[in-house]
Amino acid sequence: MGFGPGSLLYESYGDRAGFVFAPATGLMQLMYPALGKGVEEHSAFYDEPFARLVRSVPQILGMIFDGDRAGEQAHGVRDFHRDIKGTMPGGERYHALDPETFFWAHATFVDVAFRVDDLVRRRMSRTVREAYYAETVDWWRMYGMTMRVVPRTYGDFLEYWDHHVENVLEVTPAAQGLIDFLNEPWRMEQPWLPGPLWQLGSRLGGLPARDIAAGCLPPVLRERCGFGWNPAQAASHAAFMTSMRVVWPHVPERVRLLPRARAAYRRQGRTGFDAAMARVEAGPVPGLAREA
């Protein structure tokens, strides 16, 4: 199983606009209790929180863009998590490959696809979104894990998402670490940039970047995380998102697209996202099989 020309995922997911949402997405991952505990105990997150957010992205993108190697990439991502396990504060065991935990991480990547469309395209109809979601279910299926935890339709996914935002996510120690980093990045120099450059860049751009991250969170999570949000911050965030919406479609593709997507398009070709959507609009959304 894989994706290729004409697939909605293949034609759209390589857009760098998704990185606008990366800090908020990473924070929502860390707010899932078992996932946050795994990161807290099994990664160098507190030394390099930004790097942790993007470390797994190339391999996950490979599941969409690497053609015959997509299955290998899926198994690599899954198997990387086999030894991430331990005990929660209440005594219950956790494992990164618990289906509910692993699917939440996948769900955050699904969410980004629709956020990017809202931000820079605004072209997906409900019919297209249903078909797009069906492809993300196939994306999950590549991991070889149970389908029991997977919402059946796009509407079910929205209900699943809202339930987790309202009732499941919390400020775990790992989430608090990222919140502290966003609030005062100059206190946590990163190994991938010389100290003086980090100090200068983080002081100039740190708080605006923090406000972009906070603005991309659902309001209930923004409040739960303790981010202040006054009218000036809200206006600045709205202006930034509007500028992205206006400017980004005119940026050359060699800048907009991630290297893995560009390489796939050179190797396999593409139909374009508009053609992929037109195909969906012309026919029924395929049904989704679900494990009993």
When comparing pLDDT for 210 and 163, which is higher? Answer: 163
Instruction: Give the mean pLDDT of 55-83.
Output: 87
Instruction: Give the mean pLDDT of 7-14.
Output: 95
Q: Where residue 135 falls among pLDDT bands split at 50, 70, 90? A: very high
State what percent of residues in the chain have pLDDT above 90: 67
Please write the tens of the pLDDT for every residue from 209-221: 889 999 999 999 9
Residue 59 is predicted with a pLDDT of: 84
Q: Where residue 53 falls among pLDDT bands split at 50, 70, 90? A: low
The pTM score is 0.89
Indicate if the pLDDT at residue 288 is higher than 80.
no
What does the alpha-carbon distance between residue 198 and residue 194 come to, in Å, rounded to a whole number?
6
Please write the tens of the pLDDT for every residue from 216-235: 999 999 999 999 899 999 99
| Contacts with 253 (C-beta within 8 Å, 6 or more apart), sequence order | 262
Instruction: Give the mean pLDDT of 128-143.
Output: 96
Lowest mean pLDDT among 133-137, 182-186, 287-291: 287-291
Residue 83 is predicted with a pLDDT of: 84
Are 248 and 120 in contact by the 8 Å Cβ rule? The answer is: yes
Residue 290 is predicted with a pLDDT of: 43
Lowest mean pLDDT among 147-151, 187-191, 238-242: 187-191
Are 220 and 165 in contact by the 8 Å Cβ rule? The answer is: yes
Strand partners, 86: 94
Q: Where residue 45 falls among pLDDT bands split at 50, 70, 90? A: low
Indicate if the pLDDT at residue 289 is higher than 70.
no
What does the alpha-carbon distance between residue 184 and residue 175 come to, in Å, rounded to a whole number?
14
* Residues, the chain: 292
Indicate if the pLDDT at residue 1 is higher than 90.
no
Please write the tens of the pLDDT for every residue from 144-161: 999 999 999 999 999 999
Angstrom distances, CA of residue 112 to CA of 216, 245, 252: 11, 15, 21
Indicate if the pLDDT at residue 291 is higher than 50.
no
Please write the tens of the pLDDT for every residue from 32-44: 999 999 988 877 6
